Structure 1
């Protein structure tokens, strides 16, 4: 990577870090990235309101290949003392999406200056943390006949600058599920005159261990109780409304669907038994992310040719990633560049993206573009 381009990418990363924005609110971030590319490249830029992409065109009949970076931040305060600290109270880039976008922008500089024999699409995506972004951008794949898409995520707990690869499922599917039950209020001395959702909700919670038992599922299945909110803080009242908030998660989407159906069926049965109305709502839905082996093999080949340590991952991440939306429409893969085994983990206060891995990412992307 050219020294000047690396310096520009690092400077860009620091600017993005100073101005973090939450999912679906990345107005400054998106415009700053667009301005950077307009200033330093001749690439065609297409603004899609919440997200955008830039294009290097090699010509008709050339392969269409895409690279994706996310650019939203987290609702976490910046508490570490760094020169480029967040200037937005309560918001910071504690997942490294500032580094992902800076890496993709640095890669765009290299391609713009040196050329390529493929049509290359640089996709800058909003709202990864909530799962909204990729779902909204996915039409981009079919619109431009994207034949392959690549991305990387920085990752702590992995050897510094190592390239970590896995075939098949890389991230579990997940979603937030709210079970709302509503009955009728009554005086606390006469609960039989009302319909209290507490027992029905308790029985749903009690059934969770069986639903997620390894004996009943092929892959890992998890159901995390996030919140139980029943009734009011009034000792004279028998509760009449209740919400059970769960995060449901599975290695395989069909088993996530099975878990959801089991929870819904049981909730409906309990609601009927206790004379309650029940409804369901969902948020933060993520698909499974399934890497194509051919694409992962390309990452392996390039990383080895570039002299990077290649590490074979033995299991998928439990955490979800909306990148899976793209992989339902075309082949591709996501890999992970290590921050170091003992480096602070993502989504912790001590974490800050390591500028050192920008060059690794850019060189990896360049090698993939040359295959």
Structure 2
């Protein structure tokens, strides 16, 4: 059976997969700076004899064609390759060797798994017709995101895939489990940068100042009514302020206050309506209190939408490969992912790969200095995605 062939190959590749993942983990690179990572991947693809081209600077896209017979079918598979500006605290042999940089979001697992898919499909080329695009994407962690750049450079053209699949590690899920959600799954994410201007002075003589600290405080509180009194209560929205700098002193009112935050939602129309409301409210408060402000809202990733019919198909195939008990429903997640850019222009399915293991104390969350993954997930991640690709191309 095809399923058993895939499992056998994935199992035989596990030791190499672990070595690959540990190399990537020990040598992380920040967004759009993944030169050594790209060179490593290129060498791997060269060794396999799989043709590829560079895109978006440090990204690669490879294409493999099945030999079973002629077909116009095309499927794309994506992995992200960048790391985060975090200092790793794990005491493991494959600990990051790049100071202040760490694969704390599991992109090393995603990349290794996709390389494994390529190796599996290479051994099973006679089992399928059509073509598979392997997208090794840079810059997921930094807007505008490598996905949007690769799309602009034609990654979803010549040939155009009928569907695109992606997976993401989930430490809250035990290894061996897969998480799915159809429809709206992950939020848009936009960055808010505001500078509030007043007139500084002595803290003992506030009447001679225009206090930007007070203005900024009113803004921060008032912003919450944008969500609580303007958003549809059935549509999740988050407006969070994470950074405030009022660089005065205990007795000095500053001239300027800096406010940084994020706005997230699951509706593209409301998203940009909210941007307008943030700008108008900020200016109205600042001017009404005698000051002024500048508002810069940097548009980030869009809403990630898992195509309903495709996700239903992927779920059924995943249950066939993993067992129905190992596929779980996921709630909406207000984090953001630039895979969303693909989902805006193509039928897409983005699912979660369990990597947690309480017994081995592999439980730390994403974007933390102690994140790690149960490496048995590599065999599962490669095998499952290979299965989904082959079945999508009609192999049985």
TM-score scaled to structure 2, two decimals? 0.86
- Residue 369 of structure 1: aligned partner: 389
Question: Do residues 117 (structure 1) and 129 (structure 2) align?
Answer: yes
The equivalent position to 2:249 in structure 1, one of 226, 233, 242, is 233
2:324 pairs with 1:318: no
Cα 1:215–1:311 change in 2 (3 A) is farther
- Residues in 2 aligned to 1:178 and 1:282: alpha-carbon distance in whole angstroms: 6
| 1:77 aligned counterpart, secondary structure | coil
After superposition, the C-alpha distances for 1:186-227 in whole angstroms (9 at most, x for unaligned) are 455654555432232221111133222288422221111111
Offset, 1:281: 2.1
Unpaired segments ≥5 residues, structure 2: 1-5, 392-396
Report Cα offsets for 1:9-30 as digits up to 9, x if no partner.
2211111011011112211111
Q: Which structure 1 residue ranges, 5 or more long, are not aligned? A: none
Conserved? CA contact 2:82–2:103, under 8 Å:
yes
Report the counterpart of residue 16 of structure 1 in structure 2. 24
Task: After TM superposition, give the deviation of residue 162 of structure 1 in Å.
Answer: 1.3
Equivalent residues, number:
369
8 Å contact from structure 1 (residues 20, 73) kept in 2: yes
- Matched ranges for 1:57-72 at <5 A: 57-58=65-66, 61-72=71-82
Residue 361 (structure 2) pairs with residue 353 (structure 1):
no
Structure 1 CA distance for aligned equivalents of residues 214 and 185 of structure 2 = 38
**Whole-Å Cα distance in 2 between the matches of residues 280 and 144 of structure 1?**
41
Q: Per the alignment, in what secondary structure is the counterpart of residue 285 of structure 1?
A: strand
Gap change, CA 1:188 and 1:340, over 3 Å in 2:
closer
**Counterpart in the other structure of 1:98:** 108
- Residues of 2 paired with 1:81 and 1:324: CA distance? 34
Task: Work out whether residues 63 and 133 of structure 2, in 8 Å CA contact, stay in contact via their aligned partners in 1.
Answer: yes
CA contact (8 A) 1:69 1:97 kept: yes
Task: Work out which of the residue numbers 254, 278, 282 in structure 2 matches 1:263.
Answer: 278
Deviates more, 1:143-152 or 1:212-221: 212-221
Equivalent residue number for residue 31 of structure 1: 39
Alpha-carbon separation, structure 1, partners of 2:299 and 2:372: 24
> In the alignment, which residue of structure 2 is the partner of 1:107?
117
> Partners in 2 of 1:311 and 1:111 — Cα distance?
24
Distance 1:69 1:46 in 2: 15
Corresponding residue SS for 1:15: helix
Residue matched to 2:236: 220
Aligned mates of 1:156, 1:228 — CA distance in 2: 31
Q: Is the 8 A contact 2:171 2:373 kept in 1?
A: no
Matched, 1:182 2:169: no
Kindly indicate whether the alpha-carbon contact (under 8 Å) linking 1:300 and 1:310 is maintained by their aligned counterparts in 2.
Answer: no
Structure 2 distance, partners of 1:314, 1:88, is 34
Report the 3-state secondary structure (helix = DSSP H, G, I; strand = E; otherwise coil) of the residue aligned with 1:179: strand
Aligned-partner SS, 1:152: strand
1:42 shift after superposition: 1.6
SS of the equivalent of 1:138 reads helix
Q: Deviations over 1:291-340 (max 9, x none)?
A: 00122122212212213344342521121111000011100101112124
Q: Secondary structure at the match of 1:207?
A: helix
Measured in 1, the distance between the counterparts of 2:119 and 2:58 equals 22
* Residues 77/133 of structure 1: CA separation in 2 closer, same or farther (3 Å cut): same
Aligned CA RMSD, in angstroms, stands at 2.3
Corresponding residue for residue 149 of structure 1: 164
CA separation in 1, counterparts of 2:380 and 2:30? 27
Q: 1:171 aligns with which of 186, 191, 195?
A: 186
Any conservation in 1 of the 2:356–2:374 contact (CA below 8 Å)? no
Counterpart-to-counterpart distance in 2, 1:277 and 1:312:
50
Note if contact 2:357-2:374 (Cα within 8 Å) is conserved in structure 1: no
Q: Tell me how far apart the structure 2 counterparts of residues 271 and 232 of structure 1 sit (CA, whole Å).
A: 19
CA-CA distance at 1:181 after TM superposition: 2.0
CA apart distance, 1:272: 2.2
Alignment partners' CA distance in 2, 1:71 and 1:329: 22
Distance in 1, matches of 2:236 and 2:300, equals: 17
